[in-house]
Amino acid sequence: MKLLLIISLILAVAIGTQARVNNDFNNCPEYFYRAHVPSGFQGIAKSDLFDRKKLPDGINVNDLSSPAYICQTFDGSNRFATLYDRGRRMPLYSAYIMDVKASESEKNCKRVNTFRVEPQLAYRGVTENMELVTDAKSGLQKYNWDKKIGERKEENRPMYLLRTSQALDYDYGNTTYDRGHLNPCGHHTVSRDEYKATFTLTNAVPMLPEINQVWSVYENEMINMLTDQKEEIYVITGIVPGNVPIKEGGLSAPTHVWNAYCHVDKNGKPKGVGAALVQNTMGSKIGKFNNIGDFQKKLQDLLGVINIELFSNGCKPEK
């Protein structure tokens, strides 16, 4: 009996769908320097938007905790990590490893403009991959069919599940805001799936086109830091949430966008650390920080939290 249980557990892990949306980042620690998940962000997220009196039949309420920890998966593999605020339907940050040299970068990222969604923010039991809306809809429909969940109830329908669990293109329609990448395509070699994987709405926030432009100039400057492909630059890009909706009943634009990086040499030793911050308002300029402690204090003030630690040991060389 026990043996059977163990065998079926092993099988479930080996062949079953792996939840990539979870309550921690244990399935993708590789995107954080020395596997240190930034502290201080846990309390910022708002609770999910599902109506408890009309909870979809396929949803387990324990799977709705906010923030959601997304191991961003494309074509079956991890590509980066996102801390997702279900209530705001927006990422609080994305963490990734920059993998591009200046000669291989494509500054404008025009090759892909369809954004994907995260089916597991609706049902944990569906594909681990980010998908186009049409595919995500059929996946949710198939799940309902398999589990005999009726779609006569509006809240069991795929589109209700998707739009209540995350932002969709519709949320950006008729607004003056861009779908601004946190993990930018420009920090990944064009031929890699890491590049394509950045085009997912759980990695996007409403950014004024002007600020998106200012920010991308800074992102392009960062590319020049990577001189040797064996080095690594761990980057965390996040927001300070705002509360002015970009259209009625919709997403609120963040007040700020920020990032911090930890640059390690080919032996894994830190060789540089820094951060930047910009306000998401017309005419704003980028502020840069060479001291990560100063930046963390600034971020704590803006977010109204304590104990923000972005990198293991502040990305200082270990003694």
Distance, in Å, from the CA atom of 110 to the CA atom of 107, rounded to the nearest integer, reads 9
Nearer CB in complex with ligand NAG: 80/172: 172
Using the rule CB under 6 A, which residue among 62, 103, 108, 174 binds ligand NAG? 174
Helix, strand, or coil here: 217? helix
Contact region with ligand NAG (CB under 6 A), list: 45-53, 71-79, 170-178, 183-191:
170-178
Residue 130 C-beta: closest distance to ligand NAG, Å? 21
Sign of CA dihedral 89, 118, 123, 147: positive
Helix, strand, or coil here: 97? strand
Quick count: other Cβ atoms within 10 Å of Cβ 14?
8
Question: Which element (helix H / strand E) includes 272?
Answer: strand 270-279
Residues 191/197, Cβ–Cβ less than 8 Å: no
Residue 171 C-beta: closest distance to ligand NAG, Å? 8
Using the rule CB under 6 A, which residue among 14, 114, 173, 230 binds ligand NAG? 173
Q: How many residues bind ligand NAG (CB under 6 A)?
A: 3
304 near ligand NAG (CB under 6 A): no
Instruction: Show the binding pattern over residues 129-148: x = contacts ligand NAG (CB under 6 A), - = does not.
Output: --------------------
Contact region with ligand NAG (CB under 6 A), list: 76-84, 93-101, 119-127, 167-175:
167-175
Question: For residues 155, 146, 28 and 44, what is the CA-based torsion angle, rounded to 10 degrees?
Answer: 10
Nearer CB in complex with ligand NAG: 113/174: 174
CB-based burial label for 247 (10 Å; 0-12, 13-18, 19+): middle
Contact region with ligand NAG (CB under 6 A), list: 45-53, 59-67, 156-164, 169-177:
169-177
Quick count: other Cβ atoms within 10 Å of Cβ 316?
12
Residue 310 C-beta: closest distance to ligand NAG, Å? 36
Helix axes 158-165, 133-146, angle to 10 degrees: 120
Nearer CB in complex with ligand NAG: 113/191: 113
Residue 249 C-beta: closest distance to ligand NAG, Å? 11
Nearer CB in complex with ligand NAG: 130/251: 251
Residues 224/217, Cβ–Cβ less than 8 Å: no
Distance, in Å, from the CA atom of 149 to the CA atom of 64, rounded to the nearest integer, reads 19
170 near ligand NAG (CB under 6 A): yes
Nearer CB in complex with ligand NAG: 173/283: 173
Amino acid in the structure at residue 31: Y
Residue 299 C-beta: closest distance to ligand NAG, Å? 33
Nearer CB in complex with ligand NAG: 145/170: 170
Residues 267/256, Cβ–Cβ less than 8 Å: no
Residue 113 C-beta: closest distance to ligand NAG, Å? 16
Residue 293 C-beta: closest distance to ligand NAG, Å? 43
CB-based burial label for 10 (10 Å; 0-12, 13-18, 19+): exposed
Residues that bind ligand NAG (CB under 6 A): 170, 173-174
